[in-house]
Amino acid sequence: MTEFARQIEGFGAYLRDQARFSLHSVKGYLTDVEGLRRYLEENGLDLGSPGTSSLQAVDTQWIRGYLKTLHESRKKSTIGRKLAALKGFFRYLLREGVIDRDPLVGFSTPKQESPLVTFLSVDEAFRVLGCLPEEGILPARDRAVMEVLYSSGVRVSELVGLDWRDVDFSLGVLRVFGKGSKERIVPVGEVALAALRDYADHQRGRWGRAARGDEPVFLNRFGTRITTRSVARIVEKYLRLAGIPVRMGPHGLRHTFATHLLNAGADLRSIQELLGHVSLSTTQRYTHVNLDQLTAVYDRAHPRA
């Protein structure tokens, strides 16, 4: 193993054990750093035999060449993600004393184009939730998944990470762990709580697993924790059954949750807290999809409109 590869392993351990990144995020970061390693190797940079290091040789010219290849074949969002991973990697090397200068100083993340947010209208959301089947363990699970996503606005990663101890039926809240393992408390509606209770009864009957403590809330047909991809398939399935011609996954229900709150008069700061956004600017994109509503409010309320 080269010294470069060994440092990538160390970076992964740091992200997982100290920075407390999710396994999905760690995998993504390491894949992006590995892309740079392959580029350097393919273009003739000696990556160092075991016990030696060539990381000092990675300068701005090498980074510029690598980013140029990305610009030729990648979207801005992909380049931005890869650049964030590389910046994290070289900051880690600097802290560990492996290098004495950061070759990414001065490189800025490309400005992202803000895509329009995809969401369902209230009628569409109720049509989807209304077509969920009533009987059976997996239908009960699917109903709970859909109701919780729409009722709480949690990320799909937060949903699949739920354990039963994170569900407080008496207070009507969920404890979720968002990006960077940040904990927050999220309210959840009575309909979703009822769906969770019903699913808990089915879960105990099907797998004999207690719906409490550190037992996972959402299980697959084999009785193990459900995956984010499985949740995406559930969402796609019921959108299709409801005859809604919108291509969206679980994140679309998160957008729907936020948009419906905004339409009902909730302020952006509260929505920011509910969604777990670090920056209010992230939440503000929901105002763009409600421009007609905001304009109508302005026309009614402003004396010089």
- Among all residues, which ones are annotated catalytic? 155, 179, 251, 254, 277, 286
Which residue(s) pair with 175 in the sheet? 185
CA atoms of 39 and 70, how far apart (whole Å)? 11
Determine the longest span between alpha carbons in the chain, in angstroms: 73
Q: How many CB atoms lie within 10 A of CB 224?
A: 10
